[in-house]
């Protein structure tokens, strides 16, 4: 019995539950605090911005030529490769550059493939019905295994977050009805809306569309359609008819307009809150850099804090288990003392 008591006393002295408890409490505060304040990296990792690279400056980019009918306005660059034919260019108003099939277009086509694959691989996804009309959606990745359609209006609610990302994945086609519309509210921006289409896209007459179309095959933009976004076709043709297509810009919370994530070789000028002008140039990697007046700002396009770290429940379990162990040691020591 004396040997047992000696061993027990030795263990109790080495463990010192009270001292460990104080140390454990301090550690718990630090670990839990770090877990709560850290960005939810695991949840956000899959939902990365779709970087367009040099394709970002193109309003229209095709693989098998561009055909236009009527007075179409393209506010951005135009190009097609490997088929370099562009018909109806005489009736186009192009505020950017008609690159045809030059080296810039060829580089943009390579970046388009990367962007398409990124958009197709985004997740986790939420399944949506074949017709998006009448719905109001919050930021996320939306998927239809077959086709996507739009009759009426689709509302995208950014939740007050100017970086809110919307990605739509269509297994086959994207088709919008005549006079359909995509409406952006509460901070949602066209620069952060992407439509990955597994085959071809057709926008109905008089549609008001928002976002960048990344189509594997062709894109048909019918009469009188307005796009704030891009029509980018990997392998097929882009067909236009008296349309207006404008590459989107992103606005920061301070009101400064910047180039969109992934756009390159394009600069923007915009008024800052006090009326001065700042100028920025986007690099091919998609990060904005710029110089200007002291009031000019530059956006990096990173994702904001989105909530509690998903590892917190696991950390909590570890902490609770450790606490129970220490309570057991403390209880055992009290029983030895009373004995």
- One digit per residue, the tens of pLDDT, for the chain of length 339 reads 444 444 344 434 444 445 544 544 444 443 334 443 444 333 333 467 899 999 999 999 999 999 999 999 999 999 999 999 999 999 999 999 999 999 999 999 999 999 999 999 999 999 999 999 999 999 999 999 999 999 999 999 999 999 999 999 999 999 999 999 999 999 999 999 999 999 999 999 999 999 999 999 999 999 999 999 999 999 999 999 999 999 999 887 665 555 544 433 333 333 333 333 333 434 334 444 343 433 433 333 433 434 444 444 555 555 556 566 556 666 666 666 665
Phi, psi values for residue 309, rounded to 5°: -60, 130
pLDDT, residue 251, reads: 86
**What is the model's pLDDT at position 291?**
39
CB 20 within 8 A of CB 326: yes
Residues written for the chain: 339
Task: Find the helix packing angle between 312-338 and 17-37, rounded to 10°.
Answer: 170
CA 48/CA 23 separation, integer angstroms: 39
Residue in this structure with the two tokens 């307005």, named with its chain if needed: 226
pTM over cut 0.85: no
């Amino acid at each position: 019995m004396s040997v047992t008591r000696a061993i027990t006393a030795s263990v109790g002295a080495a463990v010192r539950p009270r001292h460990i408890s104080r140390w454990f409490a301090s550690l718990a505060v630090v670990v839990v605090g770090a877990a709560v304040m850290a960005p939810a990296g695991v949840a956000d990792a899959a939902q990365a911005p779709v970087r367009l690279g040099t394709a970002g400056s193109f309003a229209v980019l095709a693989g098998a030529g561009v055909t236009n009918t009527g007075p179409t306005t393209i506010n951005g660059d135009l190009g097609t490769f490997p088929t370099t034919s562009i018909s109806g260019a005489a009736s186009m108003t192009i505020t950017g550059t008609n690159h045809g099939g030059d080296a810039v277009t060829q580089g943009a086509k390579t970046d388009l493939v990367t962007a398409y694959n990124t958009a197709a691989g985004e997740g986790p996804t939420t399944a949506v019905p074949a017709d998006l009309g009448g719905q109001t959606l919050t930021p996320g990745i939306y998927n239809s295994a077959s086709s996507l359609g739009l009759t009426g209006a689709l509302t995208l609610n950014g939740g007050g977050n100017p970086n809110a990302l919307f990605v739509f994945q269509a297994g086959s086609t994207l088709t919008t009805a005549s006079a359909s519309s995509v409406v952006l509210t509460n901070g949602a921006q066209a620069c952060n809306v992407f439509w990955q289409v597994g085959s071809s896209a057709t926008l109905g007459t008089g549609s008001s569309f928002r976002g960048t179309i990344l189509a594997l095959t062709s894109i048909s933009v019918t009469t009188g359609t307005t796009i704030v976004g891009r029509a980018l076709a990997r392998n097929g043709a882009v067909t236009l008819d008296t349309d207006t297509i404008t590459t989107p810009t992103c606005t920061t919370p301070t009101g400064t307009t910047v180039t969109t994530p992934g756009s390159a070789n394009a600069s923007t000028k915009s008024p800052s809150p006090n009326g001065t002008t700042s100028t920025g140039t986007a690099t091919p990697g998609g990060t904005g850099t710029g110089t200007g007046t002291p009031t000019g700002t530059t956006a990096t396009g990173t994702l904001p804090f989105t909530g509690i770290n998903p590892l917190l429940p696991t950390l909590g379990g570890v902490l609770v288990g450790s606490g129970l162990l220490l309570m057991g040691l403390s209880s055992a020591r009290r029983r030895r003392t009373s004995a």
